[in-house]
Structure 1
Amino acid sequence: MTQKPTATQQPAAPQTAGATGILAGDPRLLIDGELTGATGGARFEVIHPGNAQVVGTAADGTVADLERAIGAARTAFDTGDWSGDVAFRQHCLMQLHDALERNKERLRRIVVTEVGCPISVTGSQIEDPIAEVKHWADYGRDFDYLVDTGVHRAVIGTARRTLSFEPVGVVGAITPWNVPFYLNIAQTVPALMAGNTVVLKPAQLTPWSGSELGRIVAEETDIPAGVFNVVTSNANAVGAALSADPRVDMITFTGSTATGRAILAAAAPTVKKTIMELGGKSAHVVLDDAKLERVLPMSAMVACVMSGQACIMASRILLPRSRYHEGIEILQAAMAATSVGDPWNPSVLQGPQISEAQREKVLGLIASGVADGARLVTGGGIPANLPVGYYTEPTLLAEVDPNSRIAQEEIFGPVLTVTPYDTDDEAVAIANNSIYGLSGEVSGADADRAFAIARRLRTGNVTVNGRSHFGLTSPFGGTKQSGLGRRNGDEGFREYLEIKTIGHPA
């Protein structure tokens, strides 16, 4: 079995100091089992969105660092035992699960520090992904990697055919900043359990959620050198190089559709397998028999709880014209009542945007909506009591033209748009009027009618009457320009495997 080199001890990882408050993460890369600085010792600053202050640094990896990581992953896959030893993989990932449990409060503080996610809603950012590690460790242990399909007749004689599920090889994982620790786990752990080796490139705005994972793997698990590598960087060229390198067999990416297109173009010359979870502009079809007082406050909360920085958020509310004004009043009250502020305050539900650039994008899209004829019902600016940090008011826009820019572009902010409709057919047409197809929602008292509407939406996932489509046991992914492939469920695990059909004597 490949031996893991001893991790270097400088620069040292920061120590946890107390249970709450800002905490910097590990400033090192993980390459071939070694925790190390970037080539030349370069670092870049990390800013806390809650106060716009620099709170630490991360290693600014270079293309040369990335190439070393890819080489290590290639060697580990081609010459090591990882791909063929299911029991050892399960052992290592259970070690990782236990180590993450021990480190979860440190990880929670790091996520709040670099994302600005309110500490009150970090369960989905911390506890859920830690549980996911155990899920995939057990799932991969029990998965049937050889499937006998029986005897088949052909012109040249009978043959028994067996399906062999085999790891793809070296997987490059490029992750976003909105739920960084969760997606670092979701995009690497199933790949590892399937027998692949991995090079993780975390988002530039949230490097520590990746580097901390690398530190824990290096210091607290038996995962061999080269099997898991982490390269943080402030340079776009590093992600581009990962997508283009011929030694990488597969890319898994979550992020904007524009970046997804660039990754596909870079991967095309080597015909890499890809999983893409891209942008979304999901619609919530509220039927005329829905209990608005139950449905709409939840829609407002979901729009604000992660500062609107969620790809599956149903940001387009479609209300029946007969109940339009009633619905607007409920939404206005719910948006206005949302608590916005310091993400370290346990009573706060909405924190800041990730950066000043992201806030300016959100405010610009709101302004474009008003310019295109939408009515600003509430919000639309920077909270007067929060002049420091990247905060945006919860915003509601009514009478939104379904063809306008704000109805078509992903906002990624705490903004809901409302459009009236007259018939179910019109609601479906408006909902499907998008280049995106990631998610959607339908609410109505008649469950059969709501389900029928859900089947007509051109999306990969739909929630009906608050019953979530999302979970580890169900495939998740988009249609149209919202992505390729699936995560979660049996389908999601198989994405990280190739199928070989073997014909042999019966």
Structure 2
Amino acid sequence: MNVVARDVAPKAPDRFFINGEWVAPKSGKTLDVVSPVTEELLFSYPEASEADMEAAVAAAREAFDNGPWPRMSSAERAGYLRKVASLLEERLDDIAGAWTLQVGAPIMLTKKLVGQNPTLFNYYADLAETYPFVDERSRDDGGKVRVVKEPVGVCAAITPWNAPLVLLSYKVSAALAAGCTMVAKPSPETPLEAYILAECIEKAGIPKGVFNLVPAGRESGDYLVRHKGIDKVAFTGSTAAGKHIAAVCSERLARVSLELGGKSAAVLLDDADFAKALPWLMIYSMPITGQVCFSLTRILVPERRKQEFLDMFLGAVSQIKVGDPFSPETQMGPLTMERQLRRVEGYIQAGRQEGARIACGGGRPAGIDRGYFIEPTVFTDVEPHMKIFQEEIFGPVVSVITYKDEDDAVRKANDTVYGLSGAVFSADVERGYRVARRMRTGSVTVNAMIVDPKHPFGGYKQSGMGREGGPEGLENYIETKTIHLA
């Protein structure tokens, strides 16, 4: 299913991938994918019903309980994962095009980021071959103990629309390396990349039922979360949806991992070199039109250097090229959906009403009369009680916040219900490290902004539970069994 030119709609998917086969839907329900650039229908495709979900869970259950996948050696599973990685490498242009088409992310950015997908499959293949799935220990009485790491079982992977395949690949690569089987439910707005992954898994020869694909909306997704045949749910998305999923899973104590929202802070200490910090802030304060959970949406600067920073930052923001995401010169495309545009407009209005000042942006870009576009927007005079300080906007809206001293900076950085990511900039790396240790957030970079799939990523507080990436990502999909040998 190749993604074709931007002015031609791609071939719409018409099947689900269940039990190693492409099967017809069991109902006539459909989902629409709308262009964020033109606001026109790109294509419609089948929505999985509860009956389709039932078939997918049954296939994954059979593959886990009786199939070869969990019983293979880790080296055998690693071989399959490397095949998937190689096949994904061949499809990187398709994946980048699908991402830009559905989400509106600039093609120059998607082409840089799609390599994370094969990287994840290769990484977990390597890790599977070295991870201590069996650890032999000794008891005080001289007897032996084997601590065995086993796959958690059948996993549901529920992923959002902003970075469709990267966020799915985090889950699928780690879960398959652990020996789990899966039912994947991608966001209804962005199905294409998940279909490409399913095609690669099929071509790699992974046994039937190990990976199943059933795109659906919220109601069918909720049926999947509640299904007794699902041992674990891995979810990336909003904090509100994550709370619901956690509550449902708690009813039967199903395992759950959640990567949720963020309101991340970039703390520029009083000795920071603003010119060196600026490129990182430009990339990560509004990536993919701000529709990234780890966006650095709160920039904390010393009171005495506020104007110095604003002069530099606003000058750079004003030069961001907004437009057609398929143009290689475009730095920012549209928001992905109309509801996202209305959400962002609502927060901008709230910021104004609560007394913050718009330093730039706040409206539709000049000369663009259709599509879900909005200008890069920067607020100043933002205080902790304001909605734009506290709540995740998920759009290109950044607050510049002043602080009195280092303690005040840390206090303001931590003053939200979120704790996903962050950055600290300082001329003294060890000083930056000390401040990073005080920030209640799952990932912090000193003098940059780095997200590396080979290292753990996840959140404190209401930003989630569990980690993805690194060995910790594999452990998301593992149960520990202790076997005493008498």
TM-score w.r.t. the length of structure 2 is: 0.96
2:83 paired with 1:101: no
CA contact (8 A) 1:82 1:88 kept: no
Residue aligning to 2:265: 283
Residue aligning to 1:371: 353
CA contact (8 A) 1:300 1:416 kept: no
SS at match of 2:290: coil
Provide the C-alpha distance between the structure 1 equivalents of 2:282 and 2:380, rounded to a whole number of angstroms: 14
* Structure 2 CA distance for partners of 1:65 and 1:483, relative to 1, 3 Å: same
1:195-241, Cα deviation, whole Å (9 max, x unpaired) = 000000001111222222223323x12111111001011x3111111
Residue aligning to 1:401: 383
SS at match of 1:148: strand
SS at match of 1:380: coil
* Structure 2 CA distance for partners of 1:366 and 1:31, relative to 1, 3 Å: same
Provide the C-alpha distance between the structure 2 equivalents of 1:430 and 1:237, rounded to a whole number of angstroms: 38
C-alpha RMSD over aligned residues: 1.6
1:467, CA displacement in angstroms? 5.7
1:232-289, Cα deviation, whole Å (9 max, x unpaired) = 11x3111111111111111101010000001011111110111110100011111111
2:177 paired with 1:193: yes
Query: Which stretch of the first structure deviates more once superposed, 131-140 or 289-298?
Result: 289-298
1:314, CA displacement in angstroms? 1.1
2:19 paired with 1:32: yes
Provide the C-alpha distance between the structure 2 equivalents of 1:183 and 1:297, rounded to a whole number of angstroms: 25
2:253 paired with 1:271: yes
SS at match of 2:308: helix
Residue aligning to 2:454: 473
Provide the C-alpha distance between the structure 2 equivalents of 1:309 and 1:383, rounded to a whole number of angstroms: 18
2:471 paired with 1:490: yes
CA contact (8 A) 2:423 2:449 kept: no
* Structure 2 CA distance for partners of 1:15 and 1:417, relative to 1, 3 Å: closer
1:442-487, Cα deviation, whole Å (9 max, x unpaired) = 111122222111110001111111162x223321111111000111
Structure 1, gaps ≥5 residues long:
1-13
Provide the C-alpha distance between the structure 2 equivalents of 1:28 and 1:101, rounded to a whole number of angstroms: 24
CA contact (8 A) 2:289 2:335 kept: yes
Matches within 5 A, 1:292-307: 292-307=274-289
Provide the C-alpha distance between the structure 2 equivalents of 1:139 and 1:111, rounded to a whole number of angstroms: 28
Residue aligning to 1:165: 149
SS at match of 1:307: helix
1:135, CA displacement in angstroms? 1.4
Residue aligning to 1:116: 104
2:201 paired with 1:217: yes
Matches within 5 A, 1:356-505: 356-466=338-448, 468=450, 470-505=451-486
* Structure 2 CA distance for partners of 1:17 and 1:356, relative to 1, 3 Å: closer
Query: Which stretch of the first structure deviates more once superposed, 310-319 or 123-132?
Result: 123-132
* Structure 2 CA distance for partners of 1:345 and 1:201, relative to 1, 3 Å: same
Query: Which stretch of the first structure deviates more once superposed, 325-334 or 123-132?
Result: 123-132
CA contact (8 A) 2:296 2:422 kept: yes
* Structure 2 CA distance for partners of 1:491 and 1:478, relative to 1, 3 Å: same
Aligned length: 485
Provide the C-alpha distance between the structure 2 equivalents of 1:21 and 1:385, rounded to a whole number of angstroms: 24
CA contact (8 A) 1:318 1:421 kept: yes
CA contact (8 A) 1:211 1:232 kept: no
CA contact (8 A) 1:167 1:498 kept: yes
SS at match of 2:97: helix
Provide the C-alpha distance between the structure 1 equivalents of 2:4 and 2:166, rounded to a whole number of angstroms: 23
Of residues 3, 6, 10, the one that matches 1:23 is 10
* Structure 2 CA distance for partners of 1:279 and 1:16, relative to 1, 3 Å: closer
SS at match of 2:150: strand
1:24, CA displacement in angstroms? 4.3
Residue aligning to 2:161: 177
Provide the C-alpha distance between the structure 1 equivalents of 2:256 and 2:414, rounded to a whole number of angstroms: 25
CA contact (8 A) 2:135 2:148 kept: yes
CA contact (8 A) 1:168 1:250 kept: yes
Identity over aligned residues, as a percent? Answer: 37
CA contact (8 A) 2:9 2:43 kept: no
Residue aligning to 1:142: 130
Residue aligning to 1:90: 78
Provide the C-alpha distance between the structure 1 equivalents of 2:371 and 2:120, rounded to a whole number of angstroms: 32
Residue aligning to 1:347: 329
Query: Which stretch of the first structure deviates more once superposed, 29-38 or 393-402?
Result: 29-38
Provide the C-alpha distance between the structure 2 equivalents of 1:201 and 1:363, rounded to a whole number of angstroms: 29
Residue aligning to 2:30: 43
1:77, CA displacement in angstroms? 0.3
1:64, CA displacement in angstroms? 1.2
2:58 paired with 1:71: yes
1:46-79, Cα deviation, whole Å (9 max, x unpaired) = 1121221111122211111111100110011001
* Structure 2 CA distance for partners of 1:253 and 1:320, relative to 1, 3 Å: same
CA contact (8 A) 1:25 1:212 kept: no
Provide the C-alpha distance between the structure 2 equivalents of 1:81 and 1:279, rounded to a whole number of angstroms: 37
SS at match of 2:43: strand
1:94-130, Cα deviation, whole Å (9 max, x unpaired) = 2211221222222221111111111101145411112
SS at match of 1:417: strand
